[in-house]
Structure 1
C-alpha cells in the first residue's frame, strides 16, 4: 500500500501561535492554538518573549500531531509565518536580550510590530531620502525593523550591548531556532529592513552608505553579520518555501518531529495568507483567472489576497516593477524569484467593526438579543437590517444608509494615501440610540471597508496592476453583508476560501511542502514517489473537513473525540513496512525553478473557493455605491484641506 506524507505549518500572530498538520491533498488533519502574551509597560512600547513563543509553538505542533493521529516520522516539511516583529538575541550564546523599556528583563526580547516607540527614528530614516526607501513604498513605517534597531542603539543603557546583538525578523528567528542556520527570508529583509535584492540597483543587498547615513554603521561590521551577512559570502537569503535545512535534534525533540523534517524559508504572516488562498479554483467560472497562456506563478498575477483580521493586508504580485503611491513595495523575490509584490493595507477593519459596536449605547442590548437568538452579533445585525428594510419600506438594505456618510480611518490611513493623521468623520448621525441606529451605523462601517478597498485597488490599477479577483481569508468571510458590499463596491468577484480561519497557517504548511519536496528530490533514493504526477490544475471537489467553513472553529476537544471514535474523515493510511529508505517525490518534473514549484504545490494543496459576484453595474445598489464613493473621496480631500487651513492659521 502506498504511504502518505504530511506537512506542518506554524503561524505566530499578535495574540496566539497556531500549528496545523495537512496531508498531500491539502486536508487539515490537526489544528492547535495557544495564546501568547504581550507587555506594554509604557505607552507604545509593546514587547513579547521569543522563549514563550517557541514554547507555545512546540505545544501547538505536538498537540496538532496528536489530533491528526499520524506518525511524526511521516511529517517531512515544516513552514513558518509570523508577524513582522524584531527579535534580539546575543550573538555569542543566542540568549535573549532585553529590548526595553525594562532593560532588566531579558525574556522580553521582541519589539512587536505594533510598537510605535521609534517615531523619531522613523522620521530620521525617511529624511535621508535614500534610494532604498523607493522599494518600501517611498518611506519606512514605524512598524518596520530598522527604526526599532535604531531606537535600541540610541537607548540601550550599555552601549556595548548593541554590538553584541543579532537582529532577526520573527519568522527568521524561528527558522534559526529550528535548524540552527542563519538563513534569512527575502520576505523579511526586503519588506521590513531595507534590503535590495541583487540586480535592482548598483547595490546588492545591504547598503553601507544608507546604514551610515541613518546612524547604524555598527550593522556594517564583519560584512553585516549581525543582520544576516552578505548573500553567498557569510549569509544566505531565500525566497518563500526554498529549503533552509533539516530540524536539529534538539528542535525536533521539542516540536515532536524528527530530523527528517525539512524547514522552508518563511514569510510574514500576511504573505502566508496570499500563499494559502490565491491558488484556489472556484465553484463558478471567472474567465479572467483562466489564462491558458500563463505558466507557473504567472497564473497568480491579477489575484489579490485580502488577509483580514484586526486590520487587512492587500497583496498581489507582478512580473515587473510597479511603483504605487501609498502602497508598500514593490518587493522583488519575496514570493518567487523575479516577481514583484505590492502590499496595501487598511489599519482597521475587524477592529473598526468592533469599535462601532462596543462604543454604541445599544451594544449591551445587542449582546443580549444575539445570545438569546443563538446568533453572532454580526449575524443578528444583518438580520435586523433585513427587517428594517421592510419596516422602513426601503428598496434594499444598502439604501438604509443612503444619507449616512461614514469615513472610518479612526487610526490613520495606511493605504493608499499613507496619511497617519487621518481620522474618522461621520455625517448624518442623529440622537437616536436604539438598536436600529446601531444597525445602520454598522452597515455604514461595512460600506466604508468596501469603499476603501476600492480606493486601494483603483490606485494599484492606475499604477499598472490589473486586479481580476479578491481572495479573502479570515473570520470576516463569514459576514455575508460585508462580502456583498466588498463585491459591489469594488466590482470584483470575491472568493471565500475553504479554510476561513486557517488560511494563513495553511499557507505556512504549503511552505513546508515545498521544502520537503526540494529536500527529498535531492536525495539519491530508488524509491518511487508516493505521489502521482502533480497537475497544475487545482482539485475541484475536496472531501469535507471539520476545519472547513462554516465550522472552521471546531474545538480541539471535539476533534480529538472524533478521532478516538473512528469518526475522523481522514483515516491514516498504513505505513510502509520498512521506512529506512527515504521517500522521494516524482522526479519526472524537470527543470522547475523555485517559483514554478511553489505555484504547483499551492495548486496541489488548494481547495475550491466559493465566489460572490458583484451585481450588474446597472443595479440600483451599484449606482448608489458609485455616488457614495465620490462622497467618500470628498471626505478624504475635505479633511486634509481642513487640516491645511488650520495649519496656516
Structure 2
C-alpha cells in the first residue's frame, strides 16, 4: 500500500492539482483554466462554482490511476480572494453586473481603494499588523465597498463572507472553520503568542469602519472557529464532496492556506549540505508568479513599515511571518511583452524554434550582448530604466496609487527592442525585491539566502538577475511545483502521518541547486538601483506639481 496526498492550488487564472507521495515526489499534475471577469478597470471577479468545478476536474485527473484507499489526505491553497455566499451556501453577487455567479472579488481587485484610504485614516491599532497601511487587496476594504455599493444585491443577502481557501475546505467538508492564515493575514484578526491558538476580532475596529453588523452573533458571517493550516478540518470529506472529487468520504482534509504561504511551506525547508546550517529565521521564500510574495519568518515579532505582519502561527507553527510583495510580476512581464509591436514576430520565431517565448528572448539577450562585446548582458539596458508599479506598490511603500514608469524609449520597435524591454522589466522587479530586502533588514530581519519558487523561478534570467541585484544566493528546489507541494503537505499533516508541518517539510521538501551572484555586474546594478530610487522621487515630484 502506498501513501499519497493531494495538493490543490487555485491560482489567479487556473486550478492545479498534484498527487504527491510521502517523500515529496510529485507523481501527477493537472490544470484547468478558471473564468475571470473585468467589468470595469481595476475590477476582477470570479465564480466559486466554476472554481470548485475545476478543482473536481483536476483532482479526478491526478487520481485516476491510483487506489483511492492509498490517498490519505488533501490540502487546498488559493489566492486571497473574497467569496460571498447566501442562504444554503448559494452564490450571492459581488459584481455591479448583478450576476449571482460572479461572487468572488479577486485578490488583485482595487475597487476598494477609497475604502482602504478611509480605514488608514483611522490609524487603528490593528493596522500595526499590516505594515501600518491596509491594502485594497485585503478583505475589510472590500467588505466596506460591498456594503456601500451593493447593499441590497449583496450585503443584505449574504450569510457568509469567506476567504477562498476557507470556501474550498467548507465545500469539501461542510465545516465553517476558518484558517488562521486567512483571518490573521487578510481580515485583521489578531493572534498573540502568549495565548497559543487564541486571538480576537476587534469590535471597535469594525464599528469604526461601519461594519459593526459583522460583530453580531459572535461574528458568525466571517468566522469564530479558527484552525492552523494543515490541522484537520471538519470530519473529513463529506459524502457529496467525495462524489464530486472522485475520492472516498471522510478523507482527511487539511485546513487551507493562502497560495503564497503554501509556496513558502513547499520551498523554505529545501536542504543541501550548504544550506543545512541556515536556520529558518535567516531564510526568505520568494514565490514569483502573477504577483510575487516574499515570506520572511522569525522567532520574534518584527514590525516593518509597508510590509504585512508580523503574523503568528499562520504558516509554520511558533514562527512570526512577515509578508512583503509585488502586486504584479508575471502579469507585468506579459503586459510589456504582449503589447510591444514586435510581439507577434517574436512569438513566431520562438514557435519556429520550438521554445517558449521567454526562452527565446533570453537567448536573444545573450546573443545581442555578445555581438556588442559587452562584459555582461545586463548592460543592454544601460539607458533603459523602469519603475515597475503598474498596478501600485504593495511593499515596502504600500502605495496603491503609484504608476509604472519607463525611461529611455526610442522609435525603434523591433524584436531586439522587445528583448531589451523584457530584460529591463526583469531588472526592475529585481530592484523591487532589493527595496523590500533593505526594508526587512533595516527593521531587524536577517537574510542569508532566498528560496525561490513559482512560474518565474523557471526563468533563468529572472533568477540570476535577482541573485546579481541583491547579492544573495538563491536556492531553487529540485521539485519545481513548490506551491502544490505545500498544499499536499497540509493534507499529509491532516492525515496524521506527520506530527507537525516542520516534520513534513523535513521529509518532503527535498533538495535543490544554488544560484550564486555574479560579481562582474555588481557595480552596474548598484548604479541602476540608484536610478530606480530616483524614479520614485521623480514620480512623487510630478504628482506634487500636478496637484498644485
Match of 1:621 in 2: 521
Aligned match of 1:119: 113
| Secondary structure in structure 2 of the residue aligned to 1:273 | helix
Partner residue in 2 for 1:364: 344
User: Aligned runs of 1:432-511 on 2, under 5 Å?
Assistant: 432-500=412-480, 502-511=481-490
Q: Count residues with an aligned counterpart.
A: 545
Q: Is the 8 A contact 2:453 2:477 kept in 1?
A: yes
Contact 1:5 1:23 in 2 (8 A): yes
Structure 1 residue 199 displacement after superposition: 5.8
Name the CA distance, whole Å, in 2 between partners of 1:120 and 1:359.
Answer: 30
Normalised by the length of structure 2, the TM-score is 0.94
**Partner of residue 290 from structure 2, selected from 295, 310, 330:** 310
2:241 to 223, 237, 251: 251
Q: Which residue of 1 aligns with 2:208?
A: 213
Per-residue Cα deviation, 1:486-526 (whole angstroms, up to 9, x for no partner):
111011111222233x2212210110001101xxxxxxxxx
Give the distance between the partners of 1:268 and 1:125, measured in 2 at CA.
23
Off by >6 Å, runs of 4+ in structure 1: none
Q: Name 1:71's counterpart in structure 2.
A: 67
Note the alpha carbon deviations across 1:38-59, whole angstroms, 9 max, x for none: 2233443432221221121112
Select the structure of larger CA radius of gyration. 1
Farther off after superposition, 632-641 or 164-173: 632-641
CA RMSD of aligned residues (A): 2.1
Aligned 8 A contact 1:42 1:101 in 2: no
- Number of the residue aligned with 2:50: 52
1:227 counterpart SS class: coil
Q: Identify if the C-alpha distance between structure 1 residues 436 and 183 changes in structure 2 by more than 3 Å, giving closer, same or farther.
A: same
Structure 2 partner of 1:134: 128
Q: Deviations over 1:160-180 (max 9, x none)?
A: 962752111111111111112
Residues 410, 424 of structure 1: 8 Å contact kept:
yes
> Structure 1: 5+ residue runs without aligned partners?
230-235, 292-298, 518-584, 587-591
Q: Per-residue CA shift, 1:422-445, capped at 9, x if unaligned?
A: 223333333222322222222222
Mapped to 2, the partners of 1:505 and 1:70 lie a distance apart of 18
SS for the counterpart of 2:75 is strand
Q: 1:47 to 1:398 in 2, by over 3 A?
A: closer
Question: What residue number does 1:327 align with?
Answer: 307
Provide Cα deviations, 1:283-309, integer angstroms capped at 9, x if missing partner: x624xx515xxxxxxx42222111111
Partner of 2:383: 403
Partner SS, residue 600 of structure 1: helix
Offset of 1:599 from its aligned partner?
1.0
Kept in 2, the 8 Å contact 1:79–1:510? The answer is: yes
Residues 382 and 38 (structure 1), Cα distance of their counterparts in 2 relative to 1, 3 Å cut: closer
Aligned counterpart, 1:274: 264
Whole-angstrom distance in 2 between the partners of 1:348 and 1:221:
37
Q: Give TM-score scaled by structure 1 length.
A: 0.80
Aligned with 1:603 (options 485, 501, 506): 506
Compared CA separation, residues 367 and 218, structure 1 to 2 (3 A): same
- Structure 2, unaligned stretches of length 5 or more? none
Distance 1:114 1:428 in 2: 29
- Report the CA distance between 1:338 and its aligned residue: 3.2
**Secondary structure, aligned partner of 2:233:** strand
Task: Describe the shift of the 1:188–1:462 C-alpha distance in structure 2 as closer, same or farther (beyond 3 A).
Answer: same
Describe the SS at the equivalent of 1:243: coil
Is the Cα contact below 8 Å between 1:85 and 1:111 reproduced in 2?
yes
Residue 159 of structure 1, CA deviation: 8.1
8 A contact 1:97–1:165 mirrored in 2: no
> Partners in 1 of 2:102 and 2:153 — Cα distance?
19
2: distance between equivalents of 1:217 and 1:316?
33
